[in-house]
Chain A
Amino acid sequence: MLFRRILLDRITGAWMIIALVTILLLPLIMGVGLYLKSVPLLEHQDLWKLISSTEWTPLQGKFGFWPFIAGSIYVTVLSFILAAPVVVFAGIYLTQFSSKRLTRIIHPVIDILAGLPSVIYGVWGILVVVPFISKILAPVFNTSSSGYSIFAGGIVLAIMCIPYMLNMIIEVFNTVPIGLKEASLSMGATFWESVKHVVIRKSYPGIISAFGLGNAKAFGETMAVMMVVGNRIQVSFSPFEAGYPLPALIANNYGEMLSVPLYDSVLMFAALLLLVIILIINLVFRYFIYRTRER
């Protein structure tokens, strides 16, 4: 009987540790796998030229990733500018001012927003954001636009990232000790002043981390952006022009992957680039969060 229990313990113990190690090794295995696939491309062209060149003619073997990287950065930054104020103010309201009832209602709302598939956001973007930009916003700025543009991608992305960042921000604001705020209030500061000078200052690293992680998520988001961003290879400054972010490049071209030489290698390199960039951002900002949590 005891022997059976110990045997069972050993077996399940092994199962548990194998599962854990598999999960932890996953990013490494993914990185190596994608790297091996992109070796042919890296032998063909050097890394710096791949990233900085703007020439994209797959049939002649010229692959410049800059238009895609620039497109990704543009969409991400735009979405961040749109989402950040909403996230901070909503976080402040929900943790400092709101009634119990609102807090109870808003948590499922955030969860559902975070859980909606990106295709649904894409459909909504096509139905609402794209016509809004081509019919209303572009004429206001005296340009014409089909609506399928960087701007549309930014708006859709902003809405997708709000619940993601808000969850983190709420957690950050909740870790600020109430005593600190009370001290500030008892010195005669108004609620807003103590939020501004105590809560925000105290959770500064946390806010930065949440922003960083939100940007990482926006950078890698594929379907919703791809559906509204227009997918034209160009580097332009106007947000009303179409763009072509990196994830969309991978998703759009898997069909031709095996017909053009080196093309599969190119797409896997793009995936590797995404993986490395996002993993680094994640590791850096998560480190901030862990440091603040441990203290």
Chain B
Amino acid sequence: MRKRKIIEEKIFRFIAAFAAYSLIGILAFIIIVILVKGFNALSVDMLIKTPKGGYYFGGEGGVLNAIVGSLYIAVGATLIAVLLGMPAALYINVHLIRKKRTQNTIRYFMDALWGIPSIVYGAFGFTLMLFLGMHASLIAGIITVALLITPIMARTFDEVLSTIPKGLHEATLALGSTKTETAFRVLFKQGFSGFITAVLLAFGRGIGDAASVLFTAGYTDLVPVNLDEPAATLPLAIFFQLGSPIPEVRERAYAAAVILTVIIFIISLGARYLSKRYSRSNLK
């Protein structure tokens, strides 16, 4: 009887350990496959040239248009997300601090928003675009991606703000500050590391999302100059090139996938490093 218990313990402990370690394995597997496959076609040309004539038949050129387009869209969308998400998160934690129920209800709805798939945002962005009489362009893409990442930004920042001790909040009020001053001079500063994390998380989501820009940003071989021009994006560049029957073009899709993966990696590690760095000076 006792022996059976111990054997069962050992077996399940092994299974659980296996499941946990397999996560590291899966990540390594994905990254290694992407890197190995894309490394051959990766060149400086990929990074600094736009597609030239005959590019889609295996000719000269790179994916600069998509890299720049993606950065524009992600930066623009992140700016809008900050303008909407940051004050919303501060409002929840400053003005509503005494109304626990309201706070929780708002968080509940925001979490549900987080779950809406990006293709729905894309379809809605398309509807909105037609409604406003625009065509597929950089600005339409920026707005759609902004809608997608604003709840993420707001909720992530809010999560950090909610851990700030209430005493700090009360101290500022006791010194006679207005709610705005409490929000921006004290809570924002104290939660700055969380703010950075939220911005970078939103940025990463924005740069990697394809389904939302599929209808709204269009696609072009040129680097966009104005807001009303269509813009290519890196995920779509990968997707379209992968559908090509020509092997050289498919190779370049793998190379573009390496570029995107590296960007995501940098953002992810950067977020960790920066949030650690800026939380050092926090009041405990």
Contacts and interface: CB of A to CB of B under 8 A. Distances in A.
Interface string B205-248: 10111110011000000000000000000010011001000000
Interface residues on B, range: 35 or more
Given A6-B178, A247-B211, A127 B33 contact: yes
Contacts of B238: 119, 123
Contacts of B106: 20, 24
Given A30-B124, A110-B23, A190 B9 contact: yes
Interface string A139-178: 0000000000000000000010011001000000000000
Interface stretch (A43-51, A57-65, A274-282): A274-282
Contacts of A22: 84
Contacts of A19: 83-88, 91
Contacts of B29: 128
A260 B123 CA distance: 17
B151 A12 contact: no
A223 B211 contact: yes
Nearest to B214: A251
| From B15, B113, B115, B121, residue with most partner A Cβ within 10 Å | B115
Interface in A95-147: 96-98, 102, 105-106, 108-113, 115-124, 126-128
Given A190-B9, A286-B111, A26 B151 contact: yes
A220 B15 contact: no
Contacts of B183: 12, 16
Interface in B68-100: 83-88, 90-92, 95
Interface string B91-130: 1100100000000101011111101111111111011100
B123 A250 contact: yes
Interface residues of A, number: 93
Contacts of A96: 16
A115 B204 contact: yes
A12 B123 contact: no
Interface string B17-37: 111101110110110011001
B5 interface: yes
A41 interface: no
Given A94-B20, A124-B33, A250-B123, 9 more contacts: A13-B180, A106-B23, A117-B235, A120-B260, A126-B242, A162-B23, A195-B12, A279-B115, A281-B115
| 4 nearest CB pairs, A to B | A220-B117, A117-B208, A271-B123, A89-B19
19 contacts: A16-B90, A16-B91, A24-B109, A26-B113, A86-B22, A89-B19, A90-B23, A119-B257, A120-B34, A123-B253, A128-B33, A192-B13, A217-B117, A223-B210, A247-B211, A268-B123, A271-B123, A275-B116, A294-B104
